[in-house]
Amino acid sequence: MGTESMASQQLSAPVIIFLLVLFFGGTLFMSVMIGKKKENADGYMNAGQNIGFGIAATSMTATWIWASSMYASATAGYTYGISGPIHYGLWGALMILFIYPFGRRIRAVAPRAHTLAEVMHARHGRSSQLMLAGSNVLGSLISLTSNFIAGGALVAMLSPFNFTQGILVMAAGVLLYTLWSGFRASVLTDFAQAVAMLGAVAVIIPVVFFAAGGPGMFEAGAQNLTPQQSSFFSSDAFLNQGAPYIAAVLAYAIGNQTIAQRLFAVREDLIKPTFITATIGYGATVIGIGMLGVMALYLGMEPMGGDVNNLIPQIATTFLGPILLCVFFIMIIGALASTADSDLSALSSIMMADVYGQNVAGRKKANPKTMLFVGRVTMVVATGAALYFASGQMNILDLLVFVGAMWGALVFPVIASFYWGKVTNAAFTVATLAALALFIPVRFEMLPDNIAIDLGVDVLSVLGIGVVLGLMAFGFFGLKPALWIGSIAAVVSAPFAIGFLHDYHVLSGSLVAYSVSTVVCYLMSFRNKKDFDFALIDQRIGEFDREESSDEDPTPAH
């Protein structure tokens, strides 16, 4: 059955306008209600570090479930069959869980931080700070861009408006309410967005399933699948989707400022339940949405215009009635907005704390009013830049995997810097640059076709497997079990991986980034005779708005 035999529908222009005004008007109203007449720079960045469980858990869930992750999960289902969404959603969910042990350590050594890069400045110095801040600027811009692409595709499919009009209205709506109160607006509107989004998913997935033919769809459409797509244990899905995503999402978890910002904002005693709840919410929602892509595969649907970004709205317009189509529209807009506002808040906090607060004015001389101005200007500029990039309509799944793999170069140096006092600024910087220098040619197939080079990439990739699994184990079980698990993983995978892993450029590029950064960072650090005093981090980081009073009284205000 092709798409041409399926009737699709659109919502009228007045209905789309009403839904947009309802959604963005409601979020703007919430933002204005929580706003302060005299805005606080620290509150703008971390909401006073006292967010409770309900708001924190829903905000983490809503931030991790973005419109792009819904679209990418459906793309995985359409491309790789039933195992695609499971690889996408399950590993993404587990990575949220893996954040919390590292998060507790980060909060313990830097209880008053605003950004991870700010902590790197206190731990190492300027180069490592700017490296982490720079990667986050790039990552958040890519995330913002992919969310606007998702919104533009949605509007173009569901309404008479075109893609360009769609990305413009999404950008304007998100910017309007986030600009007012920054991070506080982001986390509090996330609550309403998450409730709407999860409720819509619970209704829409079953409705589409039965409208598309129910269980009989799988028998009737089985011939549309390849043997790999039909297999629950597809090696194609694991090597092209699952394994790269395991590596990429671990990097997202450690390097992403949108996640770190919530880590710094939630009450310290609530970190564990917050992340466990977000793990369950993310996994269930994203795997469920990904099954829409699997249904499209069984039905033999062709993505409109050959663009897989159109799959989800195409399914919605085909199988949902007008009322549920409105619910679906709100669901995607909620997912889009909850992450786009997080990206804007992350970018503003980086420019406020890392660029202006630490490197332009200096922490003791930073003016909170100037910081707020810098943060708001950053949001406007970032929105404009993301709109420009979104006009290119790039593949969302490729964007996500690329930025995750890029962050892989930073994972070991960042984690080691919080636990091992011997890591130096030079080790951090050189390790990250060396990893990026090898990641780029491997990822983009720039290396010559040579047996020795292929073997080298495979060996580094095997080491990368050990590093990834070792880091995962380290967070929960400590150093010795991590060393054993990482070593065994590398040894066991070597006979299977060496000789062919270099052909999977996304996966091998990411693993090479992990292994090179780990080896270089270790070799440059282990002979260092100086041991860093982690108590210095808290002394070097403080509230910008309270700096004057803290000079007189060293006890932080509560």
For residues 393 and 171, which has the higher predicted lDDT (pLDDT)? 171
The pair of structure tokens assigned to 172 is 């304007």
CA gap 276, 299 in Å, rounded: 35
User: Residue 556: what pLDDT?
Assistant: 34
546 in any annotated domain = no
Q: How far is CA 512 from CA 291, 323, 433, in A?
A: 32, 49, 13
User: Residue 493: what pLDDT?
Assistant: 92
Same domain, 55 and 141: yes
Q: Name the residue among 413, 412, 409 with its Cα closest to residue 427.
A: 413
Same domain, 91 and 187: yes
Q: What is the pLDDT of residues 256-288, one digit of tens each?
A: 777 877 888 888 888 888 888 888 888 888 898
Neighbours of 421 (CB within 10 A): 15
415 in any annotated domain = no
Confidence of residue 527 (pLDDT cuts 50, 70, 90): confident
Contact 288, 205 (CB under 8 A): yes
Question: Coil, strand, or helix at residue 40?
Answer: coil
Q: Name the residue among 116, 161, 163, 57 with its Cα closest to residue 349.
A: 116
User: Residue 139: what pLDDT?
Assistant: 80
Same domain, 358 and 461: no
384 in any annotated domain = yes
Neighbours of 12 (CB within 10 A): 11
Would you give the end-to-end CA distance of the chain in angstroms?
64
The pair of structure tokens assigned to 518 is 């780990």
Contact 442, 412 (CB under 8 A): no
User: Residue 35: what pLDDT?
Assistant: 60
Confidence of residue 518 (pLDDT cuts 50, 70, 90): very high
Same domain, 371 and 427: no
CA gap 184, 44 in Å, rounded: 6
Question: Coil, strand, or helix at residue 347?
Answer: helix
Same domain, 247 and 321: yes
**Total residues belonging to the chain:** 558
Same domain, 48 and 161: yes
CA gap 440, 311 in Å, rounded: 30
How high is the mean pLDDT of the chain? 82
Phi, psi of 266 (to 5 degrees): -75, 150
CA gap 376, 421 in Å, rounded: 37
Quick one: average pLDDT of 349-353?
Answer: 85
The DSSP letter of residue 498 is T
Look at 120-134, 255-269, 339-353 and tell me which has the smallest mean pLDDT.
255-269
547 in any annotated domain = no
Contact 186, 66 (CB under 8 A): no
Q: How open is the CA angle 369-372-373, to the nearest 5 degrees?
A: 90
Look at 44-48, 104-108, 110-114 and tell me which has the smallest mean pLDDT.
44-48
- 294's CB contacts (< 8 A; 6+ apart) are 77, 78, 81, 82, 84, 85
CA gap 236, 253 in Å, rounded: 25
Contact 341, 185 (CB under 8 A): yes
pLDDT tops 60 at residue 414: yes
Among left, alpha and beta (phi > 0; psi -120 to 50; other), residue 305 is left
Same domain, 186 and 292: yes
Domain that holds residue 471: 420-532
544 in any annotated domain = no
409 in any annotated domain = no
CA gap 37, 380 in Å, rounded: 21
Same domain, 151 and 189: yes
The pair of structure tokens assigned to 482 is 């991590």
CATH code of residue 60: 1.20.1730.10
The pair of structure tokens assigned to 465 is 């497997």
Neighbours of 267 (CB within 10 A): 14
Confidence of residue 546 (pLDDT cuts 50, 70, 90): low
CA gap 358, 540 in Å, rounded: 11
Confidence of residue 543 (pLDDT cuts 50, 70, 90): low
pLDDT tops 90 at residue 229: no
Confidence of residue 548 (pLDDT cuts 50, 70, 90): very low
Burial of 253 per CB tally in 10 Å (0-12, 13-18, 19+): buried
550 in any annotated domain = no
Question: Coil, strand, or helix at residue 221?
Answer: coil
Look at 337-351, 358-372, 416-430 and tell me which has the smallest mean pLDDT.
358-372
Same domain, 374 and 447: no
Q: How many domains does the chain have?
A: 2
Neighbours of 276 (CB within 10 A): 14
Same domain, 469 and 521: yes
Same domain, 389 and 424: no
CA gap 192, 538 in Å, rounded: 34
Q: What sign for the dihedral angle of Cα 314, 166, 144, 47?
A: negative
- Where do the H-state alpha helices sit in 242-321? 243-255, 257-265, 271-299, 311-319
The pair of structure tokens assigned to 345 is 């808040």
User: Residue 484: what pLDDT?
Assistant: 96
279 in any annotated domain = yes
User: Residue 435: what pLDDT?
Assistant: 93
pLDDT tops 70 at residue 3: no
Same domain, 437 and 354: no
CA gap 295, 311 in Å, rounded: 10
User: Residue 395: what pLDDT?
Assistant: 60
The pair of structure tokens assigned to 188 is 């509090």
Quick one: average pLDDT of 4-22?
Answer: 77
Confidence of residue 47 (pLDDT cuts 50, 70, 90): low
Q: Which helix (H) or strand (E) holds 518?
A: helix 505-525
The pair of structure tokens assigned to 196 is 């709407």
Amino acid at site 318: T
User: Residue 39: what pLDDT?
Assistant: 58
Q: How far is CA 48 from CA 57, 171, 349, in A?
A: 17, 27, 14
